[in-house]
Amino acid sequence: MKAQILKWIRNAFVLVLGSALVGILLLTLVFALPAEPVRRNVLSDVPVMMSEEIPEGDFLQYVYKNKESFTDAIMVQNALEDIEGKTAYEHAVWAYHRDLGDEVVWQALDTLKALGGGADASEMYLRTYARYWHGYLMYLKPLLMIFSWQTIVYIGIAVQLLLLAAVIWLAVKKRTTAVPVALAVGMLFMKPVLMHVSLTMSVCWVITLVALLLQMWRHGWLEEKKMYGEFFLCVGIATAYFDFLTYPLVTLGVPLCIYFLMSDEKGIGKRIGHLAINTIGWGIGYIGMWAMKWIISDVTLQTGTIRDAVWNVIGRTEAIGGRPRFNGAFYVMGINLQEYFLPIYSVLAIVLAIAVVVLVVLAARKGGVKTTLAMLVPYLLIAISPFVWITVVQHHCALHARFTFRIIALTAMAFACVGVECIRVLRNTDRKND
């Protein structure tokens, strides 16, 4: 056991350090690419992407007004900047972009409109964003050299739909149709249309779908070689590298749900153990990759990123509005739940809850309380994880409830998985009785 733990620690260290070094090298190469084609393709599309050229009442008008345009604007600004006198490596570390605002006030959308109108960028405030990796630039900048901003959104939609179709196809091929059922329930609570049309909101979803494909394809091998800890660690690394701190918990919770749907393990102790190992693996990858960006930045360019990042972590995790921690947590949970303002969400949640409770009671009666409990506990822990996250990171979840609410989809998905597992228990019991 000790040798296995030491081996895992070694693998984790190598994976995090190697990913960080490769990540910074690739970003440096990306910033060595010319910025002018990117600038041209972004700024020519600003009126459309800000929905100014879409007629009122059009469905696209609704979509573009409700998607996360502000963060999308920052992403494309980071891709088009080329600050005179700064090297590609400095760009990769500092992540410069111009802004009409100042150190405190951010005006990303107005800045893009001004740049599109021919405003002088040199007179704007030079902003830096060194604490993030900005790994999305790996694909965004090369694509923006060739395609318009709007075309890349369409490409993103196509990629997400193809990945989703691939997950469904693989699930059917491997006779694990419970996977797309549970995934569909989770998607319903993520406002999938707005998620698919946003550069920012699609990142975690793409990471999740790719993780599911790899997981379903190599599930047997991962279990046999006891490599699931490393798998979740790599998912955590990818999330820290590519995501803009949107709803990262989904990249952990969804693969965890699918892991238990595909696992044959029945013992409650081992199931909780696997849940802990996989969660810790993801956490080490996620936190470790973040920390490596701060360390690389400070060691090579003395950016002060570690200090800045630590203060931001403190700020993002503090209780909201001076409230006591748990009082603030319930307040922020309410803010996030308000994103489900359409009555259909309340109806779906009530129907799902009633159906699952009935199935759990039936499964406990037919399959036994102990068996049902062992099946139930990991999913319940996944179901409460969004509320634990909100409690810990409540300031960030309050400021950005417009997209952080998506982690609550894990609760719905975990409940759907419980329902599926109960149906399996009932079927197996009926077969034994026959």
Taking a C-beta distance cutoff of 8 angstroms, is the pair 254, 186 a contact? yes
| 309-347 per-position pLDDT tens digit | 888 888 888 887 777 888 889 999 999 999 998 899 999
CA distance 416 to 353: 9
What is the predicted pLDDT for the residue at 358?
95
Q: In the chain, which stretches have pLDDT less than 70?
A: 1, 51-65, 430-434
What is the predicted pLDDT for the residue at 431?
59
The pair of structure tokens assigned to 191 is: 């406002």
Could you tell me which of 273, 288, 224, 281 has the C-alpha nearest to residue 255? 281
What is the predicted pLDDT for the residue at 294?
94
Sign of CA dihedral 132, 135, 140, 141: positive
Supply the angle between the helices 228-242 and 202-217 in degrees, to the nearest 10: 160
Supply the angle between the helices 250-262 and 409-433 in degrees, to the nearest 10: 0
Q: Cα 113 to the chain's mean position, in Å?
A: 28
Q: Cα 389 to the chain's mean position, in Å?
A: 13
Residue keyed to tokens 């059917």: 172
| 226-281 per-position pLDDT tens digit | 899 999 999 999 999 999 999 999 999 999 999 999 988 888 999 999 999 999 99
CA distance 15 to 19: 6
| 270-286 per-position pLDDT tens digit | 999 999 999 999 999 99
Question: Please, what is the end-to-end C-alpha distance for the chain in angstroms?
Answer: 43
What is the predicted pLDDT for the residue at 314?
83
CA distance 145 to 36: 8
HEC string of the chain?
A: CHHHHHHHHHHHHHHHHHHHHHHHHHHHHHHCCCCHHHHHHHHCCHHHHCCCCCCCCCHHHHHHHHCCHHHHHHHHHHHHCCCCCCCHHHHHHHCCEEECCCCCCCCHHHHHHHHHCCCCHHHCEEECCCCCCCCCHHHHHHHHCCCCHHHHHHHHHHHHHHHHHHHHHHHHHCCCCHHHHHHHHHHHCCCHHHHHCCCCCHHHHHHHHHHHHHHHHCHHHHHHCCCHHHHHHHHHHHHHHHCCCCCCCHHHHHHHHHHHHHCCCCCHHHHHHHHHHHHHHHHHHHHHHHHHHHHHHHHHHCCCHHHHHHHHHHHHHCCHHHCCHHHHHHHHHHHHHCCCCCHHHHHHHHHHHHHHHHHHHHHHHHHCHHHHHHHHHHHHHHHHHHHHHHHHCHHHHHHCHHHHHHHHHHHHHHHHHHHHHHHHHHHHHHHHHC
